[in-house]
């Protein structure tokens, strides 16, 4: 088996899904302990405030990064596959130079916009000082972004996985005592400390691989202009994602209050974030592999389809289990105060079946450096998402919000499949279709059980569906690997 065939094989994909899924599972286990403690200390209102601050700062970070993380992975990954060590070192110097400048710019931008951010998010200016204090997070996140891109591109994925785990542990150790001592007053210092911990852990690895040699020469700045231009449209596309989170949380805060924001955020964390842990391997392993394929065609198509197959087969049993056991998981991981979000969370889990198909396809635009296409598909998704969530919330509250999110993923799939076929000649393989035809009905049956008010039948049938989904996936994976 050639190197190219090996890195695109089912066993290779499963290996890194297992690596990052396993580390993410441990990380999420620690994060869940932290969230449980924070939820008990702060309640839905405090969790809502954390969510608003986090989504706002993320928006400013995305406004400031010019897609440097994506373009850096692409450039360094290509040089790494060629074995061009001189080009790798030079590109890393360019990335670090530009990340330092962008970090400074992002920090200043957050300070300048702080009155507007406070007014738009909370409808008054009482949080202006808080956003000024949060501005270092923007700078730290941009520096971390560059160093993370370097680690990904040179395939030091195990080290990156451990950084993720230690970061979550650090967040637990730092944030919980701060919240316990100061309550909601500790939110801002806690967020800053967590950003600092993530930065220090990341640079500990990246500086060991490639020692820091900052150089702000004109030649380095000039050489980075190509990456910045390439990333400009990616920035606009990323802003759609951050802007969507920011707009929805601001909308919920203004029409219903911080408690509703906290409930919504808990529902999203329980589904799109925690269940999405399986997707972590795509950003760290799949994207560099896809970027290294020079041309569209059979190899490219096969790589994408195999990634979809493995992601879908691994995530499907998890989704069934999540739907069935959420009535137990939710109060355990948060508190009884968060039970109103149960209906929303259970229906949003169905959206993850469609996201498992969509996310690997989205990476095609990133791997090809097709920033305008990426901008288009993210704009379509953002518009659908915001519209469906607002209409759903106005119609049926949190359950309507969950239905809106799931409907968004279905409609979006109907857009991205023909678009990727027209733009890149990509078509979904028969294997993928067979897997969907088998696993999706099991998930729908699991969701149908949530309407059943017969505990014995619910738990018996639910456990059977979990077992069937797991056995189907295991049989297909073993056959392929």
Q: What is the pLDDT of residues 68-124, one digit of tens each?
A: 877 777 778 778 777 778 888 888 888 888 888 899 999 999 899 888 888 777 755
Residue 27 has pLDDT above 70, yes or no: no
Number of H helices, E strands in the chain: 17, 0
CB 432 within 8 A of CB 308: yes
Does the pTM surpass 0.75? The reply is no
End-to-end CA distance of the chain: 14
pLDDT at 374: 82
CA–CA gap between residue 225 and residue 395 (Å, rounded):
47
As given in the structure block, the two tokens for residue 225 are 């202009």
pLDDT at 3: 44
CA–CA gap between residue 85 and residue 373 (Å, rounded):
31
Taking alpha carbons only, the member of 406, 410, 448 closest to residue 320 is 448
When mean pLDDT is compared across 306-310, 367-371, 406-410, 416-420, the lowest value belongs to 367-371
CA–CA gap between residue 77 and residue 294 (Å, rounded):
12
At 267, is the pLDDT very low, low, confident or very high (cuts 50, 70, 90)? confident
Taking alpha carbons only, the member of 183, 249, 161, 178 closest to residue 42 is 183
CA–CA gap between residue 446 and residue 98 (Å, rounded):
49
CA dihedral of residues 315, 321, 323, 329 (deg, nearest 10): -120
Cα angle 288, 478, 29; round to 5:
65
Residue 341 has pLDDT above 50, yes or no: yes
CA–CA gap between residue 263 and residue 45 (Å, rounded):
9
What number is the average pLDDT over the span 121-150?
84
Q: What are residue 433's phi and psi, to 5 degrees?
A: -60, -40
What number is the average pLDDT over the span 209-237?
72
When mean pLDDT is compared across 69-83, 203-217, 368-382, the lowest value belongs to 69-83
| Distant-in-sequence, close-in-space partners of 432: CB < 8 Å, separation ≥ 6 | 305, 308, 309, 312, 357
Average pLDDT, the chain: 81
Task: Give Rg (Cα) of the chain.
Answer: 22
CB 286 within 8 A of CB 305: no
CB 401 within 8 A of CB 393: yes
CA–CA gap between residue 66 and residue 149 (Å, rounded):
14
DSSP structural state of residue 279: G
DSSP 168-229: HHHHHHHHHHHHHHHGGGGHHHHHHHHHHHHHHHHHHHHHHHS-------HHHHHHTHHHHH
Q: Which helix (H) or strand (E) holds 48?
A: helix 10-64
């Amino acid at each position: 088996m050639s190197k190219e065939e090996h890195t695109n094989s089912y066993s290779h994909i499963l290996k890194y899904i297992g690596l990052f899924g396993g580390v993410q599972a441990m990380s999420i286990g620690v994060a869940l302990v932290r969230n449980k403690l924070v939820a008990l200390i702060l309640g839905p209102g405090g969790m809502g405030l954390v969510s608003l601050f986090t989504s706002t700062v993320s928006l400013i970070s995305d406004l400031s990064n010019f897609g440097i993380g994506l373009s850096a992975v692409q450039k360094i990954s290509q040089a790494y596959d060629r074995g061009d060590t001189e080009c790798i070192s030079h590109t890393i110097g360019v990335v670090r130079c530009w990340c330092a400048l962008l970090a400074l710019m992002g920090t200043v931008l957050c300070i300048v916009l702080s009155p507007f951010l406070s007014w738009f998010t909370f409808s008054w200016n009482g949080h202006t000082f808080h956003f000024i204090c949060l501005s270092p997070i923007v700078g730290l996140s941009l520096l971390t972004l560059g160093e993370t891109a370097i680690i990904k591109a040179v395939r030091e994925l195990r080290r990156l996985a451990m950084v993720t785990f230690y970061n979550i542990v650090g967040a637990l150790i730092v944030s919980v005592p701060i919240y316990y001592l100061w309550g909601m007053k500790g939110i801002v210092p806690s967020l800053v400390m967590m950003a600092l911990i993530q930065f220090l852990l990341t640079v500990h690895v990246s500086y060991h691989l490639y020692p820091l040699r900052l150089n702000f020469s004109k030649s380095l700045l000039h050489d980075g202009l190509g990456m910045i231009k390439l990333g400009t449209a990616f920035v606009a596309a990323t802003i759609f994602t951050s802007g969507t989170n920011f707009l929805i949380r601001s909308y919920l805060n203004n029409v219903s209050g911080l408690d509703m924001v906290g409930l919504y955020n808990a529902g999203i964390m329980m589904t799109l974030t925690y269940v999405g842990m399986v997707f972590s391997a795509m950003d760290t392993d799949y994207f560099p592999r896809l970027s290294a394929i020079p041309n569209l065609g059979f190899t490219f198509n096969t790589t994408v389809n195999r990634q979809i197959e493995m992601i879908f087969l691994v995530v499907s049993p998890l989704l069934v289990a999540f739907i069935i056991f959420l009535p137990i998981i939710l109060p355990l991981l948060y508190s009884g105060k968060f039970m109103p979000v149960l209906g929303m969370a259970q229906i949003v889990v169905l959206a993850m079946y469609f996201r498992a198909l969509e996310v690997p396809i989205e990476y095609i635009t990133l791997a090809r450096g097709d920033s305008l296409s990426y901008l288009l598909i993210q704009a379509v998704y953002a518009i659908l998402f915001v519209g469906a969530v607002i209409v759903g919330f106005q119609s049926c509250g949190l359950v309507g919000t969950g239905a809106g999110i799931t409907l968004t993923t279905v409609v979006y799939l109907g857009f991205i499949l023909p678009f990727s076929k027209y733009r890149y000649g990509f078509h979904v393989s028969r294997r993928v279709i067979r897997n969907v035809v088998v696993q999706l009905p099991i998930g729908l049956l699991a969701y149908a059980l949530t309407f059943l008010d017969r505990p014995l039948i619910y738990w018996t049938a639910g456990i059977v569906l979990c077992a069937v989904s797991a056995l189907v996936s295991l049989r297909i994976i073993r056959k392929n690997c």
